[in-house]
């Protein structure tokens, strides 16, 4: 973790700590420390709901959490001493929270904390003060603090487009100093990094439109870098062609298109980029058949391809840009009416329903354990199960390890503090510090939240009613046991439904195609044979057939449905294999002469592997710009070969001319195949991850 980690929310940490410290301080000054701690506990329960969206959380959402606290507290007061009834009610509340995300774990968590701990006040004042604490958090966290004044993402994207426009104008300037080009490039990179930071900071507000626009701008950046190298070669070796073909017209049109891309929201219209490919075709018809002319045409054709990809990126993301700029409010679709065909799709096979049932059964099992065996401080066991069960096994396992590790560290530190039995004033300081760290670091990693949240809650309970070190020891032991129960629930209860089976086969499809791309990278390095690469491609085809067969089987089952995204993924996988076979035929005879081809293929393999891990592990999939960067390197390499060949022609070096010419032609052929592979592999990754909601 670094201090410049974009996920840090130190402002939120200080505000969250204030929600606890203010009532504690007020209770100390008025002589009602227990009442202040009760208000602080209610404030903590509501403030914890803002962890997922510190900058964007709204008052109505937190007021809903206040209602949940009131419901949980009231039920906890009524069910205290009625263990079997509490088992049923806590399990039902947990299931409702698992099925309806806005409800969450707050009602069940509040019920367990209230029913399992001695109340420091009478029931009615206790409930009222906890509600007061929740209202305090609802108001305090939604005030217009500086850390909540986030710039609109569309503004950040628009500035990035402007920086790219400046960069593309500089790309065609032959007199531009290298230092100035580096400065403009750093500005563009900084703007794109700011976009990535904004999207990372708002992962809870993941927008497909914003992701598509950001990906398009990143691709445009790499194409501009490639254009810079190609245009520089053209200016040095064939300056007469620059004016004849209208290179400045092309650059100006790209710059205008970028500046108009998000300048008006919604965009008034798309600026047209010059049809440079048409100009190259016209020049080819007029030109003679000399070898020098052909090399110049190769350079111009590569510039046309790069500008065409810029146009495709901007045009392809135009709808996303208009949606992102829309001034209206995009409402979610209304739920289908009972009895309609769409409503019949919600049933036991729905992953949300299965997750809710896992939560119900896991909570019920943990509740039965504490009723039958009556461990000390039993509520920690149920709470551990309640907050660690996630929709998938991978997510649950990751959260369990983070929570167990964090709770162990926080519990040990708390045990030492409780053993020392500090007074209220030292406790006030320690609670404030631990709360600030818990809320501030929650979005960085769950382990940090578990560590400092454990300290905060244990010390807050001690502030209400003096505790011993035993409460911290029980917290650690029961959290470990609760984590094991959570893992068992997600591993044993419906772990391999059809959706999971499809996810496994889709992940295998992605990883096998990634392995084929890596095998081809080794072929380009001369470290393996074409037969080995073709074997990998054939194996990838087998995995595609397995997924295709599964799709046919699922569609024929009762209640089965077509999986359009996965069908598109199978089609894209076929095109990826076709591209790989094309590259194999080109690289078979003369590997090792195509510049950074291996790096491009490795980057494609890494992208497909990342998509496979996202599908298998239930994690979001982000499209990185590594493949585009490697393709820009490949275009630059082609420009270098063209320049060397033109130099050989000018100097009449026949000995090296044939060798360079062969490398140039091979690289030009490989470049087109790599571009096609990039598009199809990206389509495969997106279709596969979209099918499982990983984008």
Residue 544 has pLDDT above 90, yes or no: no
What pLDDT score does 116 carry? Answer: 77
What pLDDT score does 201 carry? Answer: 56
DSSP string across 290-353: -HHHHHHHHHHHHHHHHHHHHHHHHHHTHHHHHHHH--S--PPPPPPPTTSTGGGG-STTSHHH
d(CA 59, CA 424): 31
What pLDDT score does 558 carry? Answer: 41
> Which of 227-241, 298-312, 419-433 is predicted least confidently?
227-241
Query: Which residues fall within 8 angstroms of residue 330, CB to CB, at 6 or more apart?
Result: 323
Nearest Cα neighbor of 157 from 90, 217, 225, 109 is 217
What pLDDT score does 74 carry? Answer: 92
What pLDDT score does 347 carry? Answer: 55
Are 122 and 81 in contact, with CB atoms under 8 Å apart? no
Query: Which residues fall within 8 angstroms of residue 106, CB to CB, at 6 or more apart?
Result: 45, 46, 48, 49, 65, 68, 69, 72, 97
If one compares 528 and 81, the residue with the highest pLDDT of the two is 528
Q: C-alpha angle 639/213/149, rounded to 5°?
A: 125
Q: State the average pLDDT over residues 480-496.
A: 81
What pLDDT score does 164 carry? Answer: 93
If one compares 269 and 516, the residue with the highest pLDDT of the two is 516
Are 649 and 575 in contact, with CB atoms under 8 Å apart? no
What pLDDT score does 199 carry? Answer: 66
Residue 695 has pLDDT above 80, yes or no: no
**What are the tokens at 523?**
């072929």
**What are the tokens at 220?**
């445009």
d(CA 140, CA 153): 25
Q: State the average pLDDT over residues 520-534.
A: 85
Helices (H), 202-290: 208-237, 239-245, 247-261, 276-286
Are 133 and 39 in contact, with CB atoms under 8 Å apart? yes
Q: At 595, is the pLDDT very low, low, confident or very high (cuts 50, 70, 90)? A: low
Q: What is the biggest distance separating any 2 CA atoms in the chain, rounded to whole angstroms? A: 100
Q: State the average pLDDT over residues 71-75.
A: 92
Residue 348 has pLDDT above 70, yes or no: no
Q: State the average pLDDT over residues 473-499.
A: 79
Q: At 96, is the pLDDT very low, low, confident or very high (cuts 50, 70, 90)? A: confident
Query: Which residues fall within 8 angstroms of residue 231, CB to CB, at 6 or more apart?
Result: 171, 172, 174, 242, 247, 303
CA 548 to chain centroid, in Å, comes to 28
Q: State the average pLDDT over residues 432-438.
A: 93
d(CA 88, CA 73): 16
> Which of 204-213, 324-333, 367-376 is predicted least confidently?
324-333
Residue 6 has pLDDT above 50, yes or no: no
Helices (H), 328-445: 351-373, 379-388, 393-420, 424-441
- 266: cis peptide before it, omega within 30°? yes
> Which of 152-156, 437-441, 502-506 is predicted least confidently?
152-156
pTM: 0.59
Helices (H), 81-122: 83-99, 106-116
Q: What is the three-class DSSP state of 434?
A: helix
**What are the tokens at 504?**
């496994």
* Architecture of the domain defined by 497-695: Up-down Bundle (1.20)
SS3 string of 591-652?
Answer: CCCCCCHHHHHHHHHHHHHHHHHHHHHCCCCCCCCHHHHHHHHHHHHHHHHHHHHHHHHHHC
> How many CB atoms are closer than 10 A to CB 175?
6
> Which of 2-11, 130-139, 291-300, 528-537 is predicted least confidently?
2-11
DSSP for residue 143:
S
> How many CB atoms are closer than 10 A to CB 9?
24
Q: At 663, is the pLDDT very low, low, confident or very high (cuts 50, 70, 90)? A: low
Q: At 495, is the pLDDT very low, low, confident or very high (cuts 50, 70, 90)? A: low
Q: Return the domain boundaries, the chain.
A: 10-149+351-492, 151-201+207-326, 497-695
Number of H helices and number of E strands within the chain?
A: 26, 0
Q: At 270, is the pLDDT very low, low, confident or very high (cuts 50, 70, 90)? A: low
The mean predicted confidence, pLDDT, of the chain is 79
pLDDT tens-digit readout, 622-653: 777 677 777 777 666 666 666 666 676 666 55
Task: Give CA separation, 125 vs 136, 221, 461, in Å.
Answer: 16, 61, 17
């Amino acid at each position: 973790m670094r201090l410049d980690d974009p996920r840090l929310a130190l402002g939120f940490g200080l505000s969250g700590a204030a929600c606890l410290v203010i009532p504690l301080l007020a209770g100390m000054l008025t002589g009602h420390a227990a009442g202040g701690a009760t208000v602080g506990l209610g404030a903590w329960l509501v403030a914890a709901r803002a962890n997922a969206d510190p900058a964007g959380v709204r008052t109505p959402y937190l007021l809903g959490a206040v209602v949940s606290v009131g419901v949980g507290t009231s039920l906890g007061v009524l069910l205290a001493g009625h263990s079997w009834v509490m088992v049923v009610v806590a399990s039902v509340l947990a299931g409702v929270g698992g099925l309806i995300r806005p409800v969450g774990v707050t009602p069940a968590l509040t019920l367990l904390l209230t029913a399992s701990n001695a109340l420091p006040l009478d029931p009615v004042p206790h409930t009222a003060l906890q509600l007061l604490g929740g209202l305090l958090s609802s108001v305090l966290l939604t005030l217009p603090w500086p850390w909540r004044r986030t710039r609109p993402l569309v503004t950040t994207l628009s500035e990035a487009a402007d920086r790219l426009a400046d960069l593309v104008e500089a790309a065609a300037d032959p007199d531009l100093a290298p230092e100035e080009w580096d400065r403009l490039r750093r500005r563009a990179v900084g703007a794109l990094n700011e976009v990535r930071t904004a999207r990372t900071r708002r992962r809870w507000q993941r927008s497909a439109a914003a992701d598509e626009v950001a990906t398009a701008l990143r691709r445009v950046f790499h194409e501009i870098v490639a254009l810079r190298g190609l245009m520089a070669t053209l200016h040095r070796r064939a300056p007469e062609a620059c004016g004849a073909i209208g290179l400045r017209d092309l650059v100006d049109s790209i710059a205008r298109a970028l500046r108009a891309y998000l300048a008006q929201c919604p965009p008034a219209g798309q600026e047209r980029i010059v049809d440079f490919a048409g100009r190259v075709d016209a020049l080819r018809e007029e030109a003679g058949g000399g070898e020098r002319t052909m090399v110049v045409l190769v350079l111009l054709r590569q510039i046309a391809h790069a500008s065409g990809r810029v146009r495709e990126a901007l045009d392809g993301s135009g709808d996303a840009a208009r949606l992102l700029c829309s001034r209206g409010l995009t409402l979610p679709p209304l739920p289908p009416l009972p009895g309609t065909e769409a409503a019949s799709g919600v049933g036991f096979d729905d992953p949300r329903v299965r997750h809710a049932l896992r939560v119900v059964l896991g909570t019920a099992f943990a509740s039965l354990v504490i009723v039958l065996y009556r461990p000390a401080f039993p509520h920690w066991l149920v709470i551990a199960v309640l907050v660690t069960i996630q929709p998938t096994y991978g997510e649950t396992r990751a959260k369990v390890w983070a929570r167990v590790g964090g709770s162990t560290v926080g519990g040990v530190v708390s045990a030492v503090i409780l053993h020392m039995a500090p007074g209220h004033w030292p406790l006030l300081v320690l609670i404030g510090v631990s709360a600030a760290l818990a809320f501030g670091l929650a979005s960085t990693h769950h382990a940090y939240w578990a560590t400092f949240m454990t300290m905060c809650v244990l010390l807050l309970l001690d502030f209400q009613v003096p505790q011993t070190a035993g409460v911290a020891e029980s917290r650690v032991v029961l959290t470990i046991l609760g984590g094991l129960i959570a893992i068992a629930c997600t591993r044993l209860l419906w772990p391999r439904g059809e959706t999971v089976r499809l996810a496994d086969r889709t992940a295998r499809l992605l990883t096998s195609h990634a392995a084929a791309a890596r095998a081809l990278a080794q072929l380009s390095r001369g470290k393996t044979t074409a037969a080995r690469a073709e074997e990998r491609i054939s194996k990838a085809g087998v995995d595609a057939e397995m997924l295709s067969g599964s799709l046919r089987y699922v569609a024929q089952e009762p209640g089965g449905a077509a999986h359009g995204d996965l069908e598109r993924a199978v089609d894209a996988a076929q095109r990826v294999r076709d591209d790989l076979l094309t590259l194999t035929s080109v690289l078979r005879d003369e590997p090792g002469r195509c510049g950074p081809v291996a790096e491009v293929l490795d980057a494609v393999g890494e992208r497909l592997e990342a998509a496979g891990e996202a599908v298998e592990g239930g994690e979001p999939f982000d499209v990185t710009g590594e493949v585009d960067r490697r393709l820009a390197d490949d275009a630059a390499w082609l420009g270098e070969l063209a320049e060397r060949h033109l130099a050989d022609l000018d100097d009449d070096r026949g000995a090296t001319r044939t060798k360079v010419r062969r490398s140039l032609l091979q690289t030009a052929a490989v470049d087109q195949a790599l571009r096609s592979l990039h598009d199809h592999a990206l389509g495969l990754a997106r279709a596969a991850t979209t099918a499982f909601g990983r984008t």
